[in-house]
Structure 1
Amino acid sequence: MRRSLSLLASRLAIPLAIPLALALGTASASATVLNFDDLGADGYVPVNYGGLDWSGSSWFQYAGEQAPFAAHSGNRRATLGWDGSSDSSAIRFNAASSFTGAWFAGYDGVSVTIDLYSGNTLVASTATLNLSDSPVFLASNYAGLVDRLVFRSNDPANFVMDDLTFASAVPEPGAAVLTLAGLGLVAFVARRRRPV
């Protein structure tokens, strides 16, 4: 009985160790929230800010009270400004990411929609959000990975964005170490099972 339990345990070791190694090696992506409060003077959002590429956009960030353009958190927020349009609103991810959403405020009657792209393919669009002076969260409702956001509005100069939230798909550095440790465990168990 004892030998059969030992044999059963050794036969299950590898099939159980492999999923365990993969589970340990999988990175738990932590969310990044860009609130613009770490930026200094008012001005264009820096080209490489927060793991995103803003170089093809005209996003401007600023601080200070200005109704109805309320920040969701802190004091800073971003706007497309007077020259903003769908063409100049694109923000690119430096690595494919899952996009959660962002907070928006603006004049009554102004609406915002975000198109989500992977490569050159439109993979999803958010709902259309009608704005007010109280910030409202616009969720992506898309679980896949994207590499570009394009913002559409009926009046791009009259809304602000804050707390843009996403999670990068790039594994954390510790994930590789955990994966190697799991594979080492699998190799150790396999070696011990070999008959002498």
Structure 2
Amino acid sequence: MKASTTRLAAAAAFFFSLHAHASLISFDDLRADGNLVSLEEQGSHAGFAWSRWYLGDTAVEGYGNAARSGANYIMNGYGVDALEIAHATAFDFTGAWFAAPGINGARAGWVQVDGYDLAGALVGSTGHVAIDGVHRWVAAGFAGVHRLVVTRDEGFFVMDDFTFAQASPVPEPGTLALFAIGAAAIALRRHGKAPR
């Protein structure tokens, strides 16, 4: 019986760990060479389409504070009010680090991230999150999104360390109920109280 209980515990750990594998995109595997370059024109990166985003590195004047880790970051272009990040399959968006660059000129005072499912329905919103010259974690916790839209009040902002996980299929209630009944039956049998 102990082996059955151990197998059940291992199966449960595997089943519930499917939701726990986060990935981080730091953009440091790309090359900016001291310039701001269109990320959209480079095509997809890490399986995502980055609409209206620019890639830069800390060698760009006024952007020494822009990368949270490594030297690269992404940012909005001049006059761009809404930037998109899309994936062909559903993903869970944990959050990302945002800051206002150290440039002289218009710098964003807040950012907002909205997540949408495949049908275009709003899954979640961070609301306005204040940013300044120090990176701030903008937590989202959106599950099952296909597209993110990032907006700001005005001026420039940077983003780094985009954190997500591939969405796992959510088990149906019947699956969870069967799992619970099986666990209860094994526990009862182990204690000699199983019905005959």
The answer, yes or no, to whether TM exceeds 0.5 is yes
Deviation of the 1:143 alpha carbon = 4.8
Deviant stretches of 4+, over 3 Å:
15-29, 65-69
Deviation of the 1:85 alpha carbon = 2.0
Q: What is aligned with 2:156? A: 158
Give the whole-Å Cα distance in 1 for the aligned partners of 2:14 and 2:108.
49
Q: Deviations over 1:148-193 (max 9, x none)?
A: 10011111x411111111011269xxxxxxxxxxxxxxxxxxxxxx
Is 1:101 matched up with 2:100?
Answer: no
* Percent pairwise identity: 32
Contact persistence 2:92–2:165 (CA under 8 A): yes
Deviation of the 1:24 alpha carbon = 3.6
Contact persistence 1:72–1:135 (CA under 8 A): yes
Deviation of the 1:147 alpha carbon = 1.0
Q: Deviations over 1:12-37 (max 9, x none)?
A: x6x99678656546635522211111
Please identify which structure carries the higher helix content.
1
Q: Equivalent residue of 2:143, what SS? A: coil
Deviation of the 1:47 alpha carbon = 2.0
Deviation of the 1:104 alpha carbon = 0.8
5+ unaligned residues in a row in structure 1: which ranges?
1-8, 172-196
Contact persistence 2:89–2:146 (CA under 8 A): yes
Is 1:30 matched up with 2:21?
Answer: yes
Map 1:1-196 to 2 at 5 A.
Answer: 21=11, 23-24=13-14, 27=18, 29-41=20-32, 42=35, 43-45=37-39, 46-54=42-50, 57-63=51-57, 64=59, 66-67=61-62, 70-86=66-82, 89-106=83-100, 110-119=109-118, 120-140=120-140, 142-155=141-154, 157-169=155-167
Q: 1:66 to 1:111 in 2, by over 3 A?
A: farther
In the superposition, the TM-score normalised over structure 2's length comes to 0.67
Contact persistence 2:126–2:139 (CA under 8 A): yes
Contact persistence 2:19–2:167 (CA under 8 A): no
Deviation of the 1:51 alpha carbon = 1.9
Give the whole-Å Cα distance in 1 for the aligned partners of 2:168 and 2:49.
16
Contact persistence 2:107–2:156 (CA under 8 A): no
Give the whole-Å Cα distance in 2 for the aligned partners of 1:111 and 1:75.
23
> What do you get for the CA RMSD once the two structures are aligned?
2.8
Contact persistence 2:109–2:153 (CA under 8 A): yes
Q: What is aligned with 2:173? A: none
Give the whole-Å Cα distance in 2 for the aligned partners of 1:23 and 1:121.
32
| Corresponding residue pairs, total | 155
Q: 1:108 to 1:80 in 2, by over 3 A?
A: closer
Structure 2: which amino acid aligns with 1:30? Answer: H
Contact persistence 2:99–2:159 (CA under 8 A): yes
Q: Equivalent residue of 1:144, what SS? A: strand
Q: 1:138 to 1:20 in 2, by over 3 A?
A: same
Q: 1:23 to 1:131 in 2, by over 3 A?
A: closer
Deviation of the 1:137 alpha carbon = 0.8
5+ unaligned residues in a row in structure 2: which ranges?
101-105, 170-196
Please identify which structure carries the higher strand content.
2
